[in-house]
Amino acid sequence: MEIKLVNNEEKCISIQSFVLGKKTIICGVLLILAILFNYKYLNFSIKNINYFFDIGLKERTILAPLGISFITFSAISYLVDIYTGKAKAGNIIDCLLYLTFFPKIVSGPIVLWRDFQNQIQTREININKCVNGVNRIIIGFAKKLILADMFGMCIGEIQKSAAYGIDIISAWLCVLLYMLQIYYDFAGYSDIAIGVAKILGFDFKENFNFPYRSRSISEFWRRWHIFLGTWFREYVYIPLGGSRMGKTRTIINLAVVFFLTGIWHGASWTYIIWGATNGGIVIIERIISDKSINKKIPNIIKWSFSMFVVMICWELFRFQNMSDFWSWVSIMLGRTTFAHIDLTWRYFLDYRMIVLTSIGILGATVLGESKILVAKEQIVKTKIGFAMQEALLLCLFVVSLFCMVSSSYHPFIYFQY
């Protein structure tokens, strides 16, 4: 069974005839950014102005619309793609469908208009897509409910105990678990969004490509949140000149991109420092990429260093201010000690958490091996292999339901962005 979905353009109000000039694009983008600034960055700006200049401006109580960052980025993609001729303007219904497409509206992925528009009239709904979509949704739920939420519960217990005293190992365990939680939480949501879109006939590209296998921060950003990286490359980095205008300009362009990446995630200095740290290391990697000393460093050392940087930087996500971040780092380094500790790492790292952590680490690294991926594809092509896959996914779904029923509500981490 196959259904072709084609828009009836005669019944839709077309905006195809609008010619978007440079001034129109600039005004449109500035208006979109002004709306985003009002909801997300106004109070942050007022707070910092008051701190540095002691003006006494009053902060406002503003409730930001759900998914405001993702909607605004999609709107900018729509305008710029039309202006550059990489896509045609859609009718009003197509435009609204793109901006409010429910699988991606809350936490992405940020699909470019040129990729979305091409599928509106040509998408197909068939049994294979529906099965693949449902499978992807189940995998996403498993990542979220079995792994991410379980890691989150353990992190919450460690943080509560920190008020009374924890040991160094528990502090480091919390850092490792958050590194796994944020990956499986966001990757799980992306799987669900991609799966729902597939059921509806849309084929979205992958948003993650085993980022914890990266041997550099540059490679990490080619594998992590791929849609966001693509957006910044297409609409910020390349328009600024990319790497076509010499090393100095390339460094400036990279600095701008990572500053914006940091502040996009949230109106806080922790996010800005997180973006600056990642950007600084990417710039250093770009400078030394052709140096002989860089080529001599073993891959295992590069991977270990990159993952250590990623793990520490994620802590800037976990805390809302730098004082809390440094307090936790002080515990990790043994500079803050406690006279009495009720619960040590042995309590938190019980048998269940050992199993889940092992699965989480292996799933984020070893399962990304190309040979394993190819073998999986070959096995699933057979009838027995496909039946085994579906049986395994059914078991995962049942376990996910049990985890959901037995645990408290844990919203997706990227809902706040």
Count of structural domains within the chain = 3
Tell me, what's the pLDDT at 236? Answer: 92
Structural domain span for residue 155: 125-170+178-208+344-417
For the entire predicted model, the pTM comes to: 0.88
> pLDDT tens digits, residue range 356-391?
999 999 999 999 898 998 998 899 989 999 999 999
- As a whole number of angstroms, the distance between CA 70 and CA 182 comes to 18
Average pLDDT over residues 40-55: 83
The residue count for the chain: 417
Q: Could you tell me which residues are beta bridge partners of residue 126?
A: 2
| 10 band by pLDDT with thresholds 50, 70 and 90 | very low
Task: Report which of residues 136 and 337 the model is more confident about.
Answer: 136
253 & 331 share domain: yes
203 & 348 share domain: yes
Domain boundary among 337, 359, 378: 337
Element (H, E) at 286: helix 269-288
Close Cβ partners of 41 (under 8 Å, ≥ 6 residues apart):
263, 267
Tell me, what's the pLDDT at 61? Answer: 75
User: Which of 41, 207, 231, 212 is closest to 136 using CA atoms?
Assistant: 207
- As a whole number of angstroms, the distance between CA 404 and CA 409 comes to 8
> pLDDT tens digits, residue range 174-203?
999 999 999 999 999 999 999 999 999 999
| 282 band by pLDDT with thresholds 50, 70 and 90 | very high
245 & 265 share domain: yes
74 & 159 share domain: no
Q: Is the pLDDT of residue 103 over 80?
A: no
Element (H, E) at 219: helix 217-223
Question: Could you say which DSSP state residue 86 is in?
Answer: S
User: Which of 16, 111, 120, 38 is closest to 71 using CA atoms?
Assistant: 111
Residue with tokens 């792994």: 147
17 & 55 share domain: yes
Q: Is the pLDDT of residue 132 over 90?
A: yes
221 & 319 share domain: yes
- As a whole number of angstroms, the distance between CA 30 and CA 15 comes to 21
Domain boundary among 309, 337, 365: 337
Tell me, what's the pLDDT at 182? Answer: 95
289 & 397 share domain: no
- Based on the number of CB atoms within 10 Å of its own CB, is 332 exposed (0-12), middle (13-18) or buried (19 or more)? middle
Residues assigned a catalytic role = 265
320 & 235 share domain: yes
Tell me, what's the pLDDT at 2? Answer: 41
